Structure 1
Amino acid sequence: MKENRTYDQLFGDLEQGNGDPSLVLYGEGVADNHRKMAREFVLLDNFFASGGNSGDGHQWVTQANETSYALWPAYQGRSYPYDGTDPIAYSKAGFIWDAAVAKGKAVAVYGEFAPRQRVPAQERQKLFERWKQGEKFSNVWKSRSDIPGLQQVLVPDFPTYSTSIPDVIRADIFLEDLAQWERRGQMPALTILQLPSDHTFGTQPAVSTPTAMVADNDLALGKVVEGLTRSPFWKKMAIFVVEDDAQNGVDHVDGHRTVALALSPYVRRGSVDSTFYAHQSMLKTIELILGLEPLTIFDLIANDMRACFTDIPDFTPYTAVEPKQDLFERNPDARALTGAAKKAALASALMRWDVPDAVPSEELNRILWHNAKGWQTPFPGVRQSVFAPMSVDRED
């Protein structure tokens, strides 16, 4: 589970898919593993996020539904239910992990839908330095949930949401557990892993640049996938990667079209699948693989992703690549900037980053666009051709 990128921002210049090269923000040198996986496995160029922000995106990904409380929020004076702390946002049918446990499946949830980790943004660079020195982080953070079913399967030593914690650290913690599973010869039937760094801090001074944070997310994903595909479990594995929402971002098709990946020995290698998919499609496919019943009518009627698959396996493992982008790159101090760049840096510094998507979406989209394309390059606006994404504004 990742945070908030559109298809065109990462894949817009991949010739085999339906992309717009002019809208790429994080292409070669930044999101190299995402792009390599899309080329080597299957490129999904018609996959849409069902939610418009984290307040409903995480509900759709984990429940195939969102309650009317989250759907019609007028957020003033109410909770922002992205992290499982408000029971009014729980769907009656429960969560995907509940369905798996009810069928006797072993489940491990790494960070998803649990209360956020409170780590200051300025700690990110310090954590990077400790990671660079080879420090292990398995016992640094503790996670818990008030949802009984989630608490039962939540990995306690893995951090929950915080973009202050580099994703490469999350990857290393997960890979330590994978090594233990390999020694035991058994891993959970369902594993959910959160990697949120691609959300970015905008251009907030003295913290990681947007490109560095996307590259961190990319390298972490590459390391996780390489580890899984080189494990003895790969022969019977499917890995699904998706953003919780697309942040109402720049995309020539629609602000909901997002980055999604399907990886398995049974995926049609080097193919393009332009079937209309959404979060419910991915959940439905997981349910079919694990023998679970649909959670709601939405995953019941959704297109499953069987068009991605074949019955002829290719067990070739994935080899991760290190992005050329410097993971340690920082945004400049506002005093070193002028004009629009300085205004964006000061605006980013005032935004609330400790909660996913609690920043004004359109303003952040503009900042990320100009940071990548130049401050004189006109912002192309947001396309709304499928349905209107629900973004977050300052008054929310």
Structure 2
Amino acid sequence: MVLRRRNRRRVVTVLAGTAALATGAAVALAAAGGQGPAGPRSDGTAVTPVGYQVTPVGHQALLGDLPLNAVLSPDKSVLLVSNAGQGTQSLQVVDPADSEVVQTIEYKRPQAVFTGLAFGPDGKRAYASGGGREIIHTYDVDDGRLNETAPIRLPTKNPEGRAVNMFPAGIAVTPDGKRLVVADRLADAATVVNLVDGSMSTVAVGHAPYAVALAEGGRTAFVTNQGGNTVSVLDIGGAKPEKETSIRVGTHPNAVVADTAQNTLYVADGDSDEVNVVDVATRKVRRTISLAPYRHAPVGSNPDALALSEDGRRLYVANAGNNDIAVIDLKNSRTAGLIPTAWYPTSVVPLGGRLYVTNAKGLGAGPNDGPGHPNPTSTTPQSPDQYSGSMMKGTLSTIALDGGRRQLRHWTRTVIANNGFREGNSPRAVGAVVPRRVGEHTPIKHVIYVVKENRTYDQEFGSLGEGNGDASLNLFGENSAPNARALQRRFVTLDNFYADAEVSAQGWNWTVAANSNPYSEEGWPANYSGRHHSYPSENGDPAIAPNKDPEHSYIWQRLDDKGVSFRNYGFYVSTDASGAAVAQDPVLNAETDHAFGPFNLSCPDSAGTFTARTKACGGPRIEEWKKEFARYVKDGALPAFEMVRLPNDHTAGTKPGMPTPQVYVADNDWALGQLVDTVSHSKFWKSTAIFVTEDDAQNGPDHVDAHRTISQVISPYTETGRVDSTFYSTASMLRTMELLLGLRPMTQFDAYATPMVNSFTGEPDTAPYTALKPSIDLSARNTVDSPMAGVSAKQNLTEEDQIDERTFNEAIWKSVRGAGSRMPEPRHDLYGAVPNDQAKDLDDD
């Protein structure tokens, strides 16, 4: 039985021909139910994993992997684009006359580019930041083509002689062409390079500097500090740069643009959804422009790019989170309208009555179930076009602005409909198990949130016999995942659930904060591809906290604010010198079980599967959880919310000496079965709901979309045995738990997401569940003769996702299906997802 519901939207008010972006509180909720799967559509549109519709306007052309920036040459004949994704990075030269890519310069890892791009004032030289390579690429520009010359090498040691990772980001060239200013992202510094003699000086700025703008004739540099809430003002007119002052702005400022005619600076605040208007002369914020899409909206617009119109009357803002360009009328500092883009716009360039917009994620992923797809047991390199972290291709939208106010009003209505910026009512479950509004009654008093690692729906449930599965992709069946499969059949089968992330670095941010902010989105590809960026997740760095207040960004912080009890088992922890699991956030650490181990594939999830290989494990994870649960049963004081991390379905591929992929999955499955068994045989069962999902779906193929993943809701109120094909995502699960716990949404995404009410029934069945021990040989180990054992032996398995996913997934596939089997190649549907009149544009690129 497939449950469906009618679309429900929120109300918007239009005032005096402009978008008065919605006046009501957005209590509710998505139009996603019953809309089909996520991914590209054959008409050139798409649906993101969170459920937003993507309907880009204008001419669409294909770019590379994760375009982050675009700049125009001084003579306006060249549009230069940087693609800084996980796979092959590149610079592309685009002819703005026809939006054709005329040159691509590839940088295969460890070679790199990042977001910084600049031309010299005469247009004969171009520069691009080299990210973790600690260089600035330089080019001669001749007849619309680039010829790379010797790079500028930045310092690799600080004055004390210690190694430093500068990781150059934004750059700017002074009007006289003699100096280059570089934002050193991971060194909390800025470097001024003398382009005449090659000398350079570095000065400290704020945390995680990102972009640079020049003013006052090039004597002053303004550097945005993306990891904080300031802009550093540097005097660069002397022999060495000097920090003059800092300007306090919004949270996580990124893009910055100077209007030299008005002596004004515009700063985009990526996590407070604002643009600050700064008076250059006084170094003060003159006013703030809100980018909230409706009144009292939580954050999530995530502005990450700015551009002034050629006449200086309008400011264009790329809202990466909302897939639109906000058009700001600078006369009254108000939003005049919104322009729909593809997924995750990252730069906007106005020229000749048109906008050129780069879209980092294009039209999304689609299926990844062909040869070369991600596989935990593989020998052939996984195709980059089949890995969720690199298979999405960026696009360039060329948008004509000749339709006037009427066209802008129409586009605004489209954006509002795409993102559900309207007021309505959430669907109510039978018996009102899931409250429709915060504070309403629910019989659920305890929520347990279990997060696992990286599996797709088809990998475990493809052969389930119910729901939308592909049995040919099922790697882990009744012998290695009996509990997960039995729980799906007995409670509710969820076959249209998506991870809102491509990889774990984003996924963990989504699972606990309902967003992954621009800092993380821009940084994770360099981390995953060995290009020397730090891991932008699961730590206390305020730069990664995806909300207006970094100290109130995560669900445990919101619970603490409300006085709701919680307990942490493995979320956002690492091991200290004594072997204890500790969290950097003091709020989380105070409620952490320090004996419950963090991600470590040498530590078992359950007892009786394999022996711990390190003293830091402290015993099987589920046994530690059961010990504390028994105490709570005795005391009668189970916390309202428990976070339980069970990571071993990640597997170690075919690394010799480690458990086989099937054993790891069985270990993980046995732990989940015991958790449900323990709760269901306790006095807390009748008032508990257990939510289970993966942080992302990067380690396997799926015939629907590379983001589709495992999801389970286990409670006496979900024991229905039905299939619920409502469109849900990570944000939906968070929203459901928030409603049960009395929390308001953290971001626009969980505010929008459909609560999982269709999985519940008002008539509980309190029959307990008895765990099933996997029948597979739990002593099985990989050997040197296992498929791709040599490749797997070189993988870094000490932390999540520090591996080569391309070979890791194939190793898992061959371990299960045999050394001679061929891993299906994931299909990327972008080419088939554009109208015929656009297909040539993509093919020609």
Normalization by structure 2: what TM-score? 0.41
1:20 matched to 2:475: no
1:89 matched to 2:544: yes
Cα distance in 1, alignment partners of residues 518 and 494 from structure 2: 30
AA paired with 1:154?
T
Normalization by structure 1: what TM-score? 0.87
CA pair 10-117 structure 1, distance change in 2 beyond 3 A: farther
Q: Give the conservation status (yes or no) of the 8 Å contact 2:717–2:762.
A: yes
AA paired with 1:109?
N
Among 246, 257, 272, the alignment partner of 2:708 is: 257
AA paired with 2:497?
F
Cα distance in 1, alignment partners of residues 582 and 593 from structure 2: 8
Q: Which residue number corresponds to residue 507 of structure 2?
A: 57
Secondary structure of 2:574's counterpart equals coil
AA paired with 1:363?
T
Give the Å deviation of 1:268.
4.5
Q: Give the conservation status (yes or no) of the 8 Å contact 1:116–1:355.
A: no
Q: Deviations over 1:30-69 (max 9, x none)?
A: 1000000001000111111111111111000010011111
AA paired with 1:80?
Y
Q: Which moved more, 1:163-172 or 1:107-116?
A: 107-116
Secondary structure of 1:376's counterpart equals coil
AA paired with 1:352?
N
Cα distance in 1, alignment partners of residues 778 and 686 from structure 2: 32
Cα distance in 1, alignment partners of residues 457 and 647 from structure 2: 16
1:181 matched to 2:632: yes
Cα distance in 1, alignment partners of residues 829 and 815 from structure 2: 26
Secondary structure of 1:115's counterpart equals strand
Among 592, 604, 620, the alignment partner of 1:154 is: 592
Q: Which residue number corresponds to residue 374 of structure 1?
A: 818
The root-mean-square deviation of aligned C-alpha atoms, in Å, is 1.6
AA paired with 1:29?
N
Q: Which runs of 5+ in 1 are unaligned?
A: 119-139, 387-396
Q: Give the conservation status (yes or no) of the 8 Å contact 2:720–2:761.
A: no
Q: Which residue number corresponds to residue 35 of structure 1?
A: 485
Give the Å deviation of 1:278.
0.8
AA paired with 2:583?
S
Q: Deviations over 1:70-122 (max 9, x none)?
A: 1112332321133224331112251111111211111001011122589xxxx
Alignment of 1:223-238 (within 5 A): 223-238=674-689
Q: Give the conservation status (yes or no) of the 8 Å contact 1:255–1:384.
A: no
Q: Deviations over 1:296-321 (max 9, x none)?
A: 00100011100000111111111101
CA pair 117-54 structure 1, distance change in 2 beyond 3 A: farther
Secondary structure of 1:72's counterpart equals helix
Among 295, 298, 306, the alignment partner of 2:749 is: 298
Q: Which residue number corresponds to residue 580 of structure 2?
A: 142
Cα distance in 2, alignment partners of residues 249 and 217 from structure 1: 17
Among 746, 755, 760, the alignment partner of 1:309 is: 760
1:106 matched to 2:565: yes
Q: Which residue number corresponds to residue 802 of structure 2?
A: 358
Alignment of 1:65-76 (within 5 A): 65-73=515-523, 74-75=526-527, 76=531
Alignment of 1:330-349 (within 5 A): 330-332=781-783, 334=784, 336=785, 341=787, 344-349=788-793
CA pair 161-248 structure 1, distance change in 2 beyond 3 A: closer
CA pair 322-377 structure 1, distance change in 2 beyond 3 A: same
Cα distance in 2, alignment partners of residues 382 and 191 from structure 1: 36
Cα distance in 1, alignment partners of residues 648 and 829 from structure 2: 28
Give the Å deviation of 1:214.
0.3
Give the Å deviation of 1:383.
4.1
Give the Å deviation of 1:375.
2.2
AA paired with 1:285?
T
Cα distance in 2, alignment partners of residues 324 and 375 from structure 1: 23
Q: Deviations over 1:119-172 (max 9, x none)?
A: xxxxxxxxxxxxxxxxxxxxx941111112211222122111111100001111
Q: Give the conservation status (yes or no) of the 8 Å contact 1:79–1:86.
A: no
Q: Which residue number corresponds to residue 672 of structure 2?
A: 221
Q: Give the conservation status (yes or no) of the 8 Å contact 1:253–1:384.
A: no
Secondary structure of 2:734's counterpart equals helix
Q: Deviations over 1:332-353 (max 9, x none)?
A: 1x2x46xxx2xx1011110100
Cα distance in 2, alignment partners of residues 258 and 145 from structure 1: 27
Cα distance in 2, alignment partners of residues 248 and 70 from structure 1: 20
Among 201, 207, 226, the alignment partner of 2:658 is: 207
Q: Deviations over 1:161-195 (max 9, x none)?
A: 11110000111110010100011011000000000
Q: Which residue number corresponds to residue 74 of structure 2?
A: none
AA paired with 1:145?
A
1:4 matched to 2:463: no
Q: Give the conservation status (yes or no) of the 8 Å contact 2:509–2:538.
A: no
Cα distance in 2, alignment partners of residues 347 and 82 from structure 1: 27
Among 534, 538, 560, the alignment partner of 1:79 is: 534
Cα distance in 1, alignment partners of residues 671 and 632 from structure 2: 19
Q: Give the conservation status (yes or no) of the 8 Å contact 2:693–2:710.
A: yes
Runs of 4+ in 1 over 2 A off after TM superposition: 74-77, 115-118, 382-386
Q: Which moved more, 1:190-199 or 1:143-152?
A: 143-152
Q: Give the conservation status (yes or no) of the 8 Å contact 1:48–1:277.
A: yes
AA paired with 1:269?
T
1:197 matched to 2:648: yes
CA pair 311-141 structure 1, distance change in 2 beyond 3 A: farther
AA paired with 2:516?
E
Q: Which moved more, 1:84-93 or 1:57-66?
A: 84-93
Secondary structure of 1:240's counterpart equals strand
CA pair 383-210 structure 1, distance change in 2 beyond 3 A: same
Q: Which residue number corresponds to residue 279 of structure 1?
A: 730
Cα distance in 1, alignment partners of residues 576 and 813 from structure 2: 28
| Greater gyration radius | 2
Q: Which residue number corresponds to residue 574 of structure 2?
A: 115
Q: Give the conservation status (yes or no) of the 8 Å contact 2:571–2:598.
A: yes
